[in-house]
Amino acid sequence: MLNVENVNLHYGAAQALRGVSITAPMGKITCVLGRNGVGKSSLLRAITGQHPVSGGEIRFEDKVLNGMAPFNRARHGVGYVPQGREIFPLLTVKENLETGYAPLSRKERSIPDDVFSLFPVLATMISRRGGDLSGGQQQQLAIGRAMVTRPKILVLDEPTEGIQPSIIKDIGRAIRYLRDSTGMAILLVEQYLDFCRELADHVYIMDRGEIVHEGPAEVLDTEEARRHLTV
Ligand SMILES: Nc1ncnc2c1ncn2[C@@H]1O[C@H](COP(=O)(O)OP(=O)(O)OP(=O)(O)O)[C@@H](O)[C@H]1O
Ligand SMILES: [Mg+2]
């Protein structure tokens, strides 16, 4: 499992994470809810190594990740779907998926069939440029690219942001399938309460850089959650 213990993160003098502790067990979907600017992406940047922490410890399967380069975290099984998708607009769908080969050994380099069964549109559009896809299709591509790296934990930053409802359903189905079929850990950051409640096993709520509430999804107090999610 992933263990985040008492993590602090600063941008210059500004503190974005304050003593954040969460766990994300294998075979479970863990959701971190919070409104704009509370530090959700900062938490994922700390986990994936995009930004250094200024205190605390991050472990995955008992390996300390602190100080490890993002590339090496990917090799240790940390898959990342960043906010805003960050696909390569001038590369084709196939080439975008193949960028996921980077942390793999030569013999592991293939695109899993699951990518196309979960997101058939990617097969249809395999030679299309990434930049020509709709936002929802790009999100599916970003998840597919992370699946190519054969993650043991998949970390997703607001995958529903700006996506139409039918594709949100497909993404939810894919996330559930990945948990159930591979037993990977899934850490999902969201503002969309209903999506999170339907999908998650365990929920954390974040406010102003801190975890302010946590519990199993089935007993999530939606009034309390809504209070933290509205400005
Ligand atoms: N590169 C940066 N330099 C300085 N401050 C930053 C930087 N990135 C984020 N911040 C600040 O840190 C705080 C947390 O930002 P973060 O992006 O983690 O929030 P978030 O919960 O992901 O928000 P959103 O829902 O809008 O994506 C915010 O106050 C933000 O302005
Ligand atoms: Mg964010």
Q: What is the pLDDT of residues 86-120, one digit of tens each?
A: 999 999 999 999 999 999 999 999 999 999 999 99
Q: How close is the Cα of 34 to the center of ligand 2, in Å?
A: 9
- Which stretches within the chain are classed as H helix? 40-48, 70-75, 93-98, 113-118, 120-124, 135-148, 165-182, 193-199, 222-229
- pLDDT of amino acid 222: 83
Q: Which residues of 9-22 are buried (b: 16+ CB within 10 A; e: fewer)?
A: beeeeebbbeebeb
What is the rounded distance in angstroms from the CA atom of residue 209 to the CA atom of residue 83? 18
DSSP characters for 126-155?
Answer: TTSBGGGS-HHHHHHHHHHHHHHT--SEEE
For the chain, what is the radius of gyration of the CA atoms?
Answer: 17
β-pairing, 2-11 vs 14-24, is: antiparallel
Find the 11 Cα to ligand 1 centroid distance in Å: 9
| Cβ-contact 91, 130 below 8 angstroms | yes
Does the pTM exceed 0.75? Answer: yes
User: Which ligand 1 atom is the nearest neighbour of the CA of 51?
Assistant: 1
Q: Which of 38, 157, 161, 193 to mutate to test the pocket of ligand 1 (most atoms within 8 A of CB)?
A: 38
Token representation of residue 98:
């193949």
Distance 82 CA to ligand 2 centre (A): 9
**pLDDT (0 to 100) of residue 219:** 84
In tens digits, the chain (231 residues) has pLDDT values of 999 999 999 999 999 999 999 999 999 999 999 999 999 999 999 999 999 999 999 999 989 999 999 999 999 999 999 999 999 999 999 999 999 999 999 999 999 999 999 999 999 999 999 999 999 999 999 999 999 999 999 999 999 999 999 999 999 999 999 999 999 999 999 999 999 999 999 999 999 999 999 999 988 888 888 888 887
Which atom number of ligand 1 is nearest to the Cα of residue 12? 4
**Which of 26, 6, 38, 87 shows the shortest CA–CA distance to 206?**
38
157, two tokens: 């930053």
Please tell me the number of the ligand nearest to residue 45's CA: 1
HSE-CB of 125 using CA atoms within 13 angstroms? 21
Domains of the chain: 1-77+152-167+184-231 (3.40.50.300), 88-150 (no CATH)
The total number of residues written for the chain in this structure: 231
Residue 145 Cβ < 6 Å to ligand 1: no
User: Which amino acid would we find at residue 134?
Assistant: S
**Cα separation, 11 vs 16, whole angstroms:** 7
| pLDDT value of position 191 | 94
CA 38 to ligand 1: nearest atom: 21
Taking only the tens place, the pLDDT of each residue in 208-223 is 999 999 999 988 888 8
pLDDT digits (tens, 9 = 90+) for 48-64: 999 999 999 999 998 99
